[in-house]
Amino acid sequence: MKYCTLLLAFMASQTVLLAGCHSRKTDEIPPKPVAAAEPAVVPVAAELFVMSRCPYGLMAEDALFPALDKLGDAIDFRLHFIGDVDTDGSLITMHGEPELRANLLQICAAKLAPKAFRTLIACMNRQPEAIPDNYPDCAVKAGIDAAAVTACADGDEGRGLLKASFEYAAQKGIQGSPSMTITGKEFDGPRTTESFLRAFCGSFTGTRPAACASIPEPVEVPVLVLTDARCEPCSRAVDMGLKQLKALFPGLRERVIEYATDEGKALHGTLRAADQKYLPAFVFGDEVLKDASYPQIEKYFEDAGKYHVLLVESGFDPTAEICDNKVDDDSNGKVDCDDPGCKSSLVCRPEQKLGLDVFVMSQCPYGIVALNSMKEVLASFGKHMNFRVHFLVDAGEEGQIESLHGGSEVEEDLRQICAIAKYGKGNRWLDYIWCRNKSPESKDWKACATGAIKASVIEQCSTGPEGRKLLLQDSIMGQELGISASPTWLVNNRFPASALTADEIRAIFCARNPGTPGCDKPLSNDAGGAQPGGGCQAN
């Protein structure tokens, strides 16, 4: 393949033993039998598709590279990068210019230093926030000619290599980082060294490398799945959850328990005492702590008595009123939306025609794509759409505000929500947001506070109690509605939906507001390299 990613050529060597010169005399000692040569190992093809600043891609590389080192030339490995080629030929990456630069350096290193480039990448990955600025030091440590790689990355050669890599990933339909194929088949197992070794060793068609004999069997991991037949979305959530968990824990052994049973109610009582009341619940014992995949998702577990509960996006409380089944579930004499517990439920929210709300994180790449798409959407719909933006943050018990992408995102959330509050007329606040979206990591936010938008006004609001109050209101709204992914859309105040491109946004809006001027005009479907249906998921 001509996509200038690494090809570790398999060098199969076979020793040919030739008989020496000997006499024809019959009383000569005959030569000893020559032992048959060991069968050659046929290399297994493996391809990894990543974004060089994607945290999950870095985790995959860190687990994969030791497996490749152990199997050596038995794996024909190629590394590819995910991105987009604009109509003018420019290259676009999900995580901006720093990622584009890192891609160029790494793909050039793969070509010019095929035996050392994995060492380079592993070194850079140790300080993900410093990528690509940590390249020079890591190049020295990897023994790479830094100047030659830099010259490649700066010139047409590097861009040609990266463009070909982007196009190859697109041709394969690869959009998510990381994505892995082994012998052309998608790898969906845990991103651990042992899991990669198992997958590789199970793919050899004949002789296997000696290293395959020492791979341990998967740890058996029992899980109790507590669910409720009354919860319609729970069944699908259980199926999806188990599929994902089996990919993480090859030794998973599940047992599903219904809430209505005595065992189910007793288990729920234990979970509820630890403030884990929502179903479905995935409940583990101490066995999960022994699996190699556990450290990767340890932060998503909370203890409940003797159990370890996986934190998942669930919102069904089996002891509460179900708001749309015409039954008084909690026996308080009030049914469905008349019950106070249903006040904030989506199904009980009043419908508001022509409404479009979006919940985002200001530094989430997917949220940025969605908000950028609104420029075209609003130009098409104008006054026939009431558009609002809300921010997804977590309010801590001690009053602190946290967000998925750290403190800098909270600071930008505050500035953007203040821009909305102070410059709502004519959606002028969007000019600030669209400007910030061009360089979301830049600290020079005041460069986007131009014209009618005053930096001093935003600063006073965002650093004081006003901005904090506004952001906490959004936090409460998101929690009540069970929204945690950026972007999430809410059409007409009650119908959740997902979309990234301008035409996808038009479609979800018009499905609830048919006949609205603008609905008959298709818009663009450019997602700027973002994965369709993707999003940033809060903890």
Answer whether the bond into residue 487 is a cis peptide, omega within 30°: yes
pLDDT score of 480: 85
Question: What values do phi and psi take at 360, rounded to 5?
Answer: -140, 170
* Contact criterion met (CB below 8 Å) for 321 and 342: yes
Those residues whose C-beta lies under 8 Å from the C-beta of residue 304, and which sit 6 or more positions away, are: 270, 271, 273, 274, 276, 283
pLDDT score of 313: 76
DSSP letters along 455-482, please?
HHHHHHHHTSHHHHHHHHHHHHHHHHHT
pLDDT score of 15: 29
pLDDT score of 109: 98
* CA angle (304 as vertex; 301, 307 as ends), nearest 5: 75
Which alpha helices (H) appear in 224-309, and where do they start and end?
Answer: 232-248, 262-273, 294-297
Query: Can you give the pLDDT of all 539 residues of the chain as single tens digits?
Result: 322 222 222 223 322 222 233 333 334 445 555 444 456 889 999 999 999 999 999 999 999 999 999 999 999 999 999 999 988 899 999 888 999 999 999 999 999 999 999 999 999 999 999 999 999 999 999 999 999 999 999 999 999 999 999 999 999 999 889 999 999 999 988 888 999 999 999 999 989 999 999 988 889 999 999 999 999 889 999 999 999 898 889 899 999 999 999 999 999 999 999 999 999 999 999 999 999 889 888 989 999 999 999 998 787 899 999 888 899 999 999 999 999 989 888 889 999 999 999 999 999 999 999 999 999 999 999 999 999 999 999 987 677 899 988 899 999 999 999 999 999 998 999 999 999 999 998 999 999 999 999 999 999 999 999 999 999 999 999 988 889 899 999 999 999 999 999 999 999 999 999 999 999 999 999 876 565 556 677 65
Dihedral sign for Cα 478, 481, 485, 488, please. negative
Domains of the chain: 44-214 (3.40.30.10), 221-310 (3.40.30), 355-537 (3.40.30.10)
* Contact criterion met (CB below 8 Å) for 219 and 291: yes
Rg (CA), the chain: 28
pTM: 0.58
Residue reference for tokens 């590097």: 158
pLDDT score of 539: 53
Q: How far is CA 27 from the centre of its chain?
A: 76
pLDDT score of 530: 60
**pLDDT single digits (tens) 154-187:** 999 999 999 999 999 999 999 889 999 999 999 9
